[in-house]
């Protein structure tokens, strides 16, 4: 089946550090969605991207739709404790509109 490679799988960072994660695939996507899931909760939409090259911000979060339409990245600047959680990417395939999910990036902030 179609696959999205999300990396890293987990990140251990210090409060205040910037964070970067990405999703890549061999397939072409027409939409990228980034979600965050807190423990015991459902995923919450952070950023939606609809055009190749699009760069969108939501507070300290910035995401980009790769120009090749095969990848996307999410950056978090100046991380704070409430940023901990699991971040998921999801891309909609251009070929059949199916939504494909990454396996998640677990963000842990070191005390």
User: Site mask, other proteins, residues 33-72, x = CB under 8 A?
Assistant: x-x----xxxxxx--x-x----------------------
When asked if residue 108 is in the footprint of other proteins (CB under 8 A), the reply is no
Contacts with 27 (C-beta within 8 Å, 6 or more apart), sequence order: 2, 70, 91, 93, 94, 95, 100
| 12 scored as a contact of other proteins (CB under 8 A) | no
- Residue (23 or 109) nearer to other proteins, CB: 23
Q: Does 103 bind other proteins (CB under 8 A)?
A: yes
* Token duo for residue 82: 């409430």
Contact flag: residue 2 with other proteins (CB under 8 A): no
In angstroms, what is the minimal distance from the CB of 99 to other proteins?
6
82: Cβ–Cβ under 8 A, 6 or more apart, which residues?
Answer: none
The total number of residues written for the chain in this structure: 111
Q: Encoding tokens for residue 59?
A: 């507070």
Q: What is the DSSP letter of 13?
A: E
Contacting residues toward other proteins, per CB under 8 A: 30-31, 33, 35, 40-45, 48, 50, 88, 90, 92, 97-99, 101-104
């Amino acid at each position: 089946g179609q696959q999205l490679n999300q990396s890293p799988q987990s990140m251990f960072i210090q409060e205040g550090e910037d964070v970067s994660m990405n999703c890549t695939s061999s397939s072409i996507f027409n939409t990228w969605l980034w979600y965050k899931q807190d423990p015991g909760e459902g995923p919450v939409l952070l950023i939606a991207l609809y055009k190749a090259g699009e760069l969108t911000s939501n507070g300290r979060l910035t995401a980009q739709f790769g120009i090749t339409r095969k990848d996307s990245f999410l950056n978090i600047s100046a991380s704070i404790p409430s940023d901990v959680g699991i971040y998921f990417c999801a891309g909609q395939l251009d070929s059949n509109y199916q939504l494909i999910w990454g396996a998640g990036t677990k963000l842990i902030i070191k005390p």
